[in-house]
Structures are given as structure tokens and as C-alpha cells.
């Protein structure tokens, strides 16, 4: 989508893609084994669950089961190393796709009880739980239509930067970081949120 070679009509230069890498893929790259690409719609239709909803050992177990399943007809088996080389070639030429290591992030997630982290922002410093809103009811009264939803988890970005050229001694770090953290926490309370779902998630997780 991003390279400057090939048919220009097949490009999408305003899209900024990222690739979510499970650990199992990297293990197969290192051992020069094959990797199977599945149609996610067929996985959900056949099994009633989604591959991307699991990580770690659970992901590997489900993935290997899919590889052996004769009902999975929409799939392609490729060399993991060749696929990774294609990815690397694109990153050298375009700087993209970005990389997200999903097993590492989910294993370190302090909010595992709230579900999985599926992706991050492109710079990968924001990794939070995500879930969709749930529709409850739509009502009409006197021409006014009201929609009720149960809020899911909407990721927000609340950042501060510290100049490590100026703040780099243990004493400076001990003095500055607590102030930055307190300030960021205050932002959560004082912020004007464009979406109510963002406000709910920010106040729920207080992610900074």
C-alpha cells in the first residue's frame, strides 16, 4: 500500500498500517518454519470465536488447531521468514508498517480482568484495553430520537514529555516524575472530552 513501485491505483498513501505480531510468528521466523494465513471471518463462522481474542499459550493452541482443521478452506501457507522479509523490505522503503507485539503487551497488562489489548497507537506508547459499545435501545418521543448504549472501553491518549537532556540524575528524576504524574492525573479530571465514552474510560483506568 505504501511503496512507490507498482500500480499507483493499488496504493493507499494516507493509510498508516501496523502489524500485530504474536510470539509464535517470531518463533517460526527464527526456526524457518511455515506460517498459515486464515480468513478471520471463516474462523469466526466455523468456531464461533475469534483468533485475535486470545494471546500467549491460548493463542498458540487455537492457532495450531486451526492449522489442522479441514473446515478451514480459506487459508494460505507461506514461509514465516519470507513473510517477515516482505515486512522488513516495506519498513526499509517506507518506514511502515508499524509493529505491535501483542503477547508482550497483554502479558504485562495490569488490567487483564478487563479483556485484551488489540493494538496501540502507531508510536506504541499507548496500550490500553479496548471494547466496543453495546447497543441497548433506541426510543422516540415527540420527534426526538434517543439512543441508549452501554459504553465500552475507548482508548484515550494522556501524555507528558520529559527532557532527559535536562532531567537525568536520580535526584532530578525523583523530583520531576511525581510532579508530572500528578499533573497528568489532574488532566484526567479537568479535561474536556469529545466523547462520553472517552471520559468514562479515562476516569475508570486513569491511564497516563
Those residues whose C-beta lies under 8 Å from the C-beta of residue 31, and which sit 6 or more positions away, are: none
pLDDT of residue 5: 83
Catalytic-residue membership of 44? no
Alpha carbon distance 101, 112 (integer Å): 16
Contact (Cβ atoms closer than 8 angstroms) between residue 142 and residue 60: no
87 and 165 share a domain? no
Helix and strand element counts for the chain (H, E)? 7, 6
Domain range for 57 is 8-114
Percent of the chain with pLDDT over 70: 100
Answer whether residue 179 is part of any domain.
yes
Catalytic-residue membership of 133? no
pLDDT of residue 101: 94
Q: Of these residues, 111, 116, 121, 158, which one is catalytic?
A: 121
Those residues whose C-beta lies under 8 Å from the C-beta of residue 140, and which sit 6 or more positions away, are: 146
Q: Is the pLDDT of residue 121 over 90?
A: no
Alpha carbon distance 115, 130 (integer Å): 8
Asked which of 114, 146, 164 is the last residue of a domain, the reply is: 114
pLDDT of residue 86: 94
Torsion (CA) 104, 110, 116, 118 in degrees, nearest 10? -50
- Which cell goes with 178? 511525581
Which 3 state secondary structure label does DSSP give 114?
helix
171 and 107 share a domain? no
User: What pTM does this model have?
Assistant: 0.78
pLDDT of residue 157: 83
State the average pLDDT over residues 92-120. 90
Tell me what the pLDDT averaged over the chain comes to.
92
173 and 106 share a domain? no
Q: Is the pLDDT of residue 162 over 90?
A: yes
Q: Is the pLDDT of residue 2 over 90?
A: no
Alpha carbon distance 95, 148 (integer Å): 42
State the average pLDDT over residues 51-61. 93
- pLDDT band at 42; cut points 50, 70, 90: very high
Catalytic-residue membership of 163? no
Q: Of these residues, 125, 140, 171, 174, which one is catalytic?
A: 125
Number of domains in the chain: 2
Answer whether residue 148 is part of any domain.
no
pLDDT of residue 102: 94
pLDDT of residue 177: 95
Contact (Cβ atoms closer than 8 angstroms) between residue 133 and residue 150: yes
- pLDDT band at 1; cut points 50, 70, 90: confident
Asked which of 82, 114, 146 is the last residue of a domain, the reply is: 114
Those residues whose C-beta lies under 8 Å from the C-beta of residue 106, and which sit 6 or more positions away, are: 55, 56, 112, 116, 117
State the average pLDDT over residues 60-75. 96
**Strand 144-150 with 134-141, pairing:** antiparallel
Amino acid at each position: 500500500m505504501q511503496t512507490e513501485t507498482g500500480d499507483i491505483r493499488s496504493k493507499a498513501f494516507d493509510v498508516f498500517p501496523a502489524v500485530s505480531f504474536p510470539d509464535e510468528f517470531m518463533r517460526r521466523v527464527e526456526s524457518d518454519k511455515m506460517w498459515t494465513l486464515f480468513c478471520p471471518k471463516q474462523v469466526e463462522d466455523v468456531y464461533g470465536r475469534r483468533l485475535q481474542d486470545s494471546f500467549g499459550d491460548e493463542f498458540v493452541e487455537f492457532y495450531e488447531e486451526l492449522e489442522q482443521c479441514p473446515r478451514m478452506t480459506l487459508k494460505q501457507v507461506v514461509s514465516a521468514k519470507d513473510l517477515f522479509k516482505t515486512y522488513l523490505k516495506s519498513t526499509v522503503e517506507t518506514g511502515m508498517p508499524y509493529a505491535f507485539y501483542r503477547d508482550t503487551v497483554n502479558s504485562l497488562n495490569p488490567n487483564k480482568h478487563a479483556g485484551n489489548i488489540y493494538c496501540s497507537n502507531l508510536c506504541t506508547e499507548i496500550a490500553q484495553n479496548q471494547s466496543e459499545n453495546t447497543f441497548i435501545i433506541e426510543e422516540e418521543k415527540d420527534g426526538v430520537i434517543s439512543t441508549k448504549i452501554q459504553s465500552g472501553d475507548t482508548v484515550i491518549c494522556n501524555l507528558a514529555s520529559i527532557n532527559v537532556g535536562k532531567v537525568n540524575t536520580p535526584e532530578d528524576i525523583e523530583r520531576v516524575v511525581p510532579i508530572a504524574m500528578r499533573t497528568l492525573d489532574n488532566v484526567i479530571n479537568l479535561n474536556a472530552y469529545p466523547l462520553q465514552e472517552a471520559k468514562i474510560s479515562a476516569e475508570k483506568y486513569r491511564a497516563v
